Structure 1
């Protein structure tokens, strides 16, 4: 009887060890299959550090509330190099897929989502593409940071107005838009994560030679924020030269943004008017 108990105890010990081994192996297998968060993400399902950075900017600028509106219009008076560059009303869908600019000289630029038109046909088309897409991008930048083709790299802190701001570099995958070689260095407010400035280069029309643009980066500084329907908008933009090691240098221009208004319907705003000509972009 004594030997029977000893034999039973040995069988139980072997069985327990085998079960423990199987559980350990199963745990190790699951561990090997467990996905690792990219870009130093933390925790199961957590956003990566850079994704969280972009998300925090979108939240600061109320992206979800902004995109619930159909369209938005604003007046822009822009001086560059000491000269008036643009004075007019800009209207755009909040997803930026359609744009209209009504200038004070009564000329119009319209992007209907596919083509750009200038009205009247006799109007000066010099700089039309720049005006059509640059100012609307600067206005809507907080809502465009996660567009398809965007690539991010978290940077170091850089001083702005004597205060350190977190920065990150935005680049684009090849084939994104018509200027995939452009880049931006984003500055975010250390207190509320809003987008306060962006250094950038303009490479459109460079035919692949970006050396000139790389040698002369510019920067936009967003100031004097106001709330419209609870959404913050900068009503003053200042433009500067920019150096990687020095930040903003000489002032190049400024813009005043007024009468920011949301529109519930686009109506016929983006229809091609009579006496318009298509502009090859």
Structure 2
């Protein structure tokens, strides 16, 4: 009987040592193991499943490295229905708080973070707000997924070009921006975690009546990723109709993104030029 107790104590002692080794290994590899709470993150000290999902996208798009740069510029050539919609150079702070659009016709749109200006004063301001905020949002979307006021719900896998992609729905808290009723359904690559597409509605100006926008959702499909300073950017965008059942439907337009360049100093880029007038967005 004495020998049995000795054997039992030996087994327990060996088991405790093994547990300590496993715990030690987890601590040593802390940078590679992210604690996840399967209940959605009710407890303390761990990322919820949704937060982990968003973090994985931001990591894939090198958000931390992107935000280390002060500003970024790119050219966009955009067409819808076979007609050119925009041919411009866009410059924006990487945190999206300031924007400048230099159009092919010589006119300029500048957003200082508080006010918007059109130059020259007699330039056509039709569509100014849409041009100012829509294309910059689509360009910077991978870096804005965890902005204040964002709300997320994981969805099912959906097919995109015959391959399954994880989906998630983005909505906004009341009072977030000037169109909190907008929503997006994003598609991400299951292997690379990159943002590949986003269905969306545009409700600005609807005064709370979103039925028209929800009856005609669109989608942007990000293609032809290229690496600039270690960061992936989609250099070809395609726009489609979209339904919950079918996904992408008819192609509506496309955009080519070129000359992506980081800027380390803001300088005078966002200062109001002469012969400009303030406009309401």
TM range (shorter): 0.7 to 0.9
Match of 2:279 in 1: 279
Mapped to 1, the partners of 2:238 and 2:167 lie a distance apart of 18
What displacement does 1:38 show?
8.0
- Look up the SS of the partner of 1:267 in the other structure: coil
Match of 1:95 in 2: 95
Mapped to 1, the partners of 2:178 and 2:38 lie a distance apart of 29
Match of 1:7 in 2: none
Match of 2:173 in 1: 173
What displacement does 1:207 show?
1.1
What displacement does 1:42 show?
9.3
Mapped to 2, the partners of 1:162 and 1:69 lie a distance apart of 36
RMSD over aligned Cα atoms: 1.4
Deviation per residue, 1:125-181 (Å, 9 max, x gap): 110000000000000000000000000000011000100100000000000001000
What displacement does 1:81 show?
2.0
Aligned residues: 246
Mapped to 1, the partners of 2:122 and 2:251 lie a distance apart of 34
Once the two structures are superposed, the pairs formed by residues 8-157 of structure 1 within 5 Å of their partners are: 37=37, 39-41=39-41, 45-157=45-157
Q: Is the 8 A contact 2:37 2:49 kept in 1?
A: no
- Look up the SS of the partner of 2:102 in the other structure: strand
In 2 relative to 1, CA 57–198 (structure 1 residues): closer, same or farther, beyond 3 Å?
Answer: same
Mapped to 2, the partners of 1:42 and 1:209 lie a distance apart of 34
Structure 1: segments with no counterpart, 5+ residues: 1-35
* TM value normalised by structure 1: 0.85
Mapped to 1, the partners of 2:40 and 2:103 lie a distance apart of 48
What displacement does 1:45 show?
2.2
Match of 1:30 in 2: none
Deviation per residue, 1:50-105 (Å, 9 max, x gap): 00000000000000000000000000000012211100100000000000000000
Mapped to 2, the partners of 1:37 and 1:269 lie a distance apart of 45
Structure 2: segments with no counterpart, 5+ residues: 1-35
Match of 2:241 in 1: 241
Deviation per residue, 1:169-202 (Å, 9 max, x gap): 0000000001000000010011100000000000
Return the index of the structure with the highest Cα Rg.
1
Mapped to 2, the partners of 1:244 and 1:279 lie a distance apart of 37
